[in-house]
Amino acid sequence: MHDALFMRYPSLYSWGYRNLFRRKVQYACDHADTIIAISEQTRRDIIDYFHADARKIKVVYQGCNNRFRQPITDEQVAMVKKRYNLPERYIVDVGALEPRKNLHTLIRAMAWAHIDLPLVAVGGQSRYGDEAAALAEKMGIKLLFLHALPFDDLPIVYKGAVCSVYPSVFEGFGIPILESLCVGTPVLTSTGSCFSET
């Protein structure tokens, strides 16, 4: 079980999705011999939302690809910055460009705090991303998108950043936090949810 976000934030999901997954998860919780949760937060949610037997839930944290644990040279960072026309200093945000990931709040926070660094958002193209671009322009934040970043370049983009920011509202684990920490880039993230566990 990755998360119970469809129960915690029903407005983010269609009625059909919520109904289907609520029934599937409830059935699984009632009939499974063992339930694997990816964090203590998810474990608590399984108990709270689906009344699962706590004795059969095991927490097994997620990992990330070993590519994030490989050494990254300054030359690799310089090449990737040149390839994607990235500035020398930037903040990176990695994740789907959707409301739950909270990019708009990050843009507002950067404007409020007068953070004069470009923000590089890595994620697929979306309407929410288009809205973020308009908001960033209005707020005076330089926002750059990397929509189709090859996987091999992702650890290097993390490594080249001043810091990684993960402002998500809620997650089951938060793999971008782990990826960033594995390459040695500090992370700023939301409070609550599972982020301190990650």
Ordered per-residue pLDDT tens for the chain, 198 residues: 999 999 998 988 899 999 999 999 999 999 999 999 999 999 999 999 999 999 999 999 999 999 999 999 999 999 999 999 999 999 999 999 998 899 999 999 999 999 999 999 999 999 999 999 999 999 999 999 999 999 999 999 999 999 999 999 888 889 999 999 999 999 999 887 788 888
pLDDT of residue 136: 98
Q: Tell me which H or E stretch contains 8.
A: helix 5-8
pLDDT of residue 65: 95
Please, are residues 61 and 39 in contact by the beta-carbon 8 Å criterion? Answer: yes
Query: Any residues with CB less than 8 A from the CB of 56 and at least 6 apart, and which?
Result: 32, 33, 34, 35
d(C-alpha 12, C-alpha 137), whole Å: 26
Closest CA to 173 of 66, 94, 61: 61
For residue 189, what are its two tokens? 């993230």
CA 179 to chain centre: 10
pLDDT of residue 180: 97
pLDDT of residue 43: 96
d(C-alpha 111, C-alpha 104), whole Å: 11
